[in-house]
Amino acid sequence: MKTCAVCDEQVTPRELRQGSAIARGVEVYHRDCHRATQGSVNSGSRPAAAATSFAGSSDYASFGRRLGAHLLDGIILNLVVIACALPFGVLSAMSGGDPGAGSLIGGAIGFVLPLVYFLWFWSKSGATPGKKLLGIQIVGPDGGPPTAVQSLIRYLGYIPSSLFFCLGFLWMIWDGEKRTWHDMMAGTRVVRA
């Protein structure tokens, strides 16, 4: 359970669902506490968001950071997949066996490893190594890391997001909360950490 960033009292998931508490990035607030801080000036803090907003617009990750994190994760994943799949291809070729078997194993590794990679990092901390390097993270509706189910929905949401010239990824350019289609499907946001 999380505590309100203003009054330090517990905020329940039920309060978040009913709207009597809100999540702003990784912090949660009782709605009344959040309203009380909107007029105050806190040194070193960002301006408070509108009461109905999930997070302040300055808290959402930019297109460039998200793209950079995705490219870094792609590099990491490709290196790991190659390192794991290469021995099977080499063994298959050296033994004079069917080259299709090595390709099949390599393909299975190339399918399973990215799934495990993203689901593990997203549901544990909300950030893959690429996202951590660029200072962004994924948050669920409660402001914490997405659940395993939300992470799976988000991962599978990459498929429709990739269709139609990657329109689902580009959607964040026009969305007020910088959400992609897969964010909308999973109920997640990507914010600055």
Q: Residues in the chain with pLDDT < 70? A: 17-19, 25, 34-58, 97-99
Domain boundaries, the chain: 2-57, 63-192
Strands (E), 55-175: 136-139
Is the CA virtual torsion 141, 145, 146, 148 positive or negative? negative
**CATH topology for the 2-57 domain:** Herpes Virus-1 (3.30.40)
**Which pLDDT score is estimated for 180?**
97
Q: Is 59 exposed, middle or buried (0-12, 13-18, 19+ CB in 10 A)?
A: buried
Q: Is 95 exposed, middle or buried (0-12, 13-18, 19+ CB in 10 A)?
A: exposed
State the Cα–Cα distance between residues 49 and 141, nearest whole angstrom. Answer: 16
CB-side neighbour CA atoms (13 Å) of 157 = 21
**Which pLDDT score is estimated for 52?**
34
Full-model pTM: 0.69
**Which pLDDT score is estimated for 99?**
66
Q: Is 20 helix (H, G, I), strand (E, B) or coil?
A: coil
CB-side neighbour CA atoms (13 Å) of 178 = 20
State the Cα–Cα distance between residues 81 and 110, nearest whole angstrom. Answer: 6
